[in-house]
Amino acid sequence: MKMIPAIDIIEGKCVRLTQGNFGQMKVYRENPTEVALEFQNAGLEYLHLVDLDGAKKGKVVNWKVIDDIQSKTALTVDFGGGVNTSGEVEQLLELGINQINIGSLSIKEPKTFITWLHRYGAENFILSADVKNENVMINGWLEAARFRVLDLVDHFINEGLLYLTCTDIGSDGMLKGPNLGLYRKLKDRFPSLKINASGGISSIEDLKDLEYLQLHGAIIGKALYEGVINLADLKKR
């Protein structure tokens, strides 16, 4: 299972939210690139990069941070946050972004997402489902989409979907453990899907539990920034 540290960006700074609430934002570092380099120097290979401004506005905003991280690190980066046009997809791929997370657009314009899967290659995309009680939330977690996560995945699995990142909003930022039942249900329903877990990871035991479910990756955010899990522990996994 891949260990994937996360960097969330608001106004060019490295931040974390609690349960997706923009009113509960904590700034951890002024320079996200410095954080990314620390991950790289600790021997980690992957990075989950989220433009929260972009998620809220429906278009990529923090291009400067993306470009800076891409030019100064060798991390394998998956990016999400407001990607809404083919031009943005192409620009991100040209910058060397490994995979692009698609969230709100998969609900609002499913045909566009299917077109991208076919045109650019399914290996370049991750369906990003942010869920609350298994219901999908969109627009920076601010609006309910009236879709169950299992139904959303069903819609794209026959179109070649290979990857899913599922964030449990109720667990996110709470440091009380991930929603194992949710990930078990997804893995049972879609055994070939490469699933990344996100939300609530707070210990090495949590990572072992997710690994037992044979998930593809684990995204770790607040636990790293609060020092609950340290980088050396991740490297050992």
Catalytic residues: 8, 130
Among 130, 154, 117, which Cα is nearest to 19's? 130
Strand 46-51 and strand 21-29: the pairing is unpaired
